[in-house]
Structure formats: C-alpha cells, structure tokens
Amino acid sequence: MSRIGNAPIEIPKDVKVTIRDSSILVEGNLGVLEQEYELVTVTKKGDEIRVLTDVQSKESRSRHGLYRSLIANMVKGVSRGFTLQLELVGVGYRASSRDQLLDLSLGFSHNILLEIAPEVKVETKSERGKNPLITLKSHDKQLLGQVAAKIRSFRKPEPYKGKGVRFVGEQIRRKAGKSA
C-alpha cells in the first residue's frame, strides 16, 4: 500500500479541477494541465482530491503513488508554479536569452542556440565575478525538468575541475588529478 498515494491533495481556492472518465483537468491562474490515468480511481470531495486503487494488482499499486504525485504537482504548478536555476561554471561560459531563444557559449567552437518551449519562461543573469545563472519558470514541472536536463546535457559538470552546467546548490563529487 502506497503511503504517498493515500495522502489527500488539498485544492487551493483559485484552482478548478475537472475529473473525467480517465483524465483529470486542472486549471489555475498560471495555466491549464491535463493528465490521463489508468488502474486507479480519482475522486473529488469538497476541496480534496483522493487517488484510490481499483484492483490489488502489482501494477495498480505501483501507479497509486505515481498518479497522486503527478496530480499534486499539477495543482501546485497551476497555483504557484515551479522555478529551476542552472549555473554555468567555467572560464568564458556565457548565457543570454531573447524571447524564447537561449544562446549558450560553453567553450565549444560555436554557440549553442536552443529554442525553449513557450510554457517555460527563461531569464539569464550575468554579474561580474559570479557565474552566469539561467532561471527557468513554468507551471508544468515535467516540461521544466526536461528543458533543464537538455541544457545541462550540453556540458555536464566534470569531476576534476567542476566545470560545466549544474543546478544551483548541486554538489559535484570531485576527484584528485594525477599525482606526480
């Protein structure tokens, strides 16, 4: 039995939830999200959403907590939103954004141009003496994570000098270099 799946989801006052046969629609002041589900039952009673398992199969139990977490993230996303920050660590690493186009200079012979999805808002900040920051904001947590992972994949942090694109606050396990 999933402990996460049993917890109810509180619905804020500014969020509207519509439950259909096999999907749930969540509307808020930041946007609209829809999620399809199977092998579980989603019910709304007052200002609470509960996710219940239909049958006691292994697959149903495994999806119980998953769908509860996805719905909770949808409710939080349309009411408050999510923010992720990426830090560019390395000499000459730069980032700039114009509308939904992100321009990254990560030490390659060319700049990387990445068009960001319209649901994700991107901001860049460069201060003298500090590492450049990329701030991503969205109401869709899954899409936000995918965009951040794509940006990070261009230059992952390496363990010797720690250079690369990393999440703010991420700890990189460092290795000692060759000992002479």
pLDDT tens digits along 124-179: 999 999 999 999 999 999 999 999 999 999 999 999 998 999 999 999 999 998 87
Contact assessment for residue 173 and residue 159, using Cβ atoms and an 8 Å cutoff: yes
Vertex 89 angle, CA 85 and 91, to 5°: 145
For the chain, the straight-line distance linking the first and the last C-alpha, in angstroms and rounded, comes to 56
Work out the pLDDT band at 1, boundaries 50, 70, 90.
Answer: low
Vertex 171 angle, CA 165 and 172, to 5°: 65
Work out the pLDDT band at 2, boundaries 50, 70, 90.
Answer: low
The number of angstroms, rounded, from the C-alpha of 155 to the middle of its chain's C-alpha atoms is 19
pLDDT tens digits along 33-46: 999 999 999 999 99
What is the rounded CA–CA span in Å between residue 159 and residue 43?
A: 48
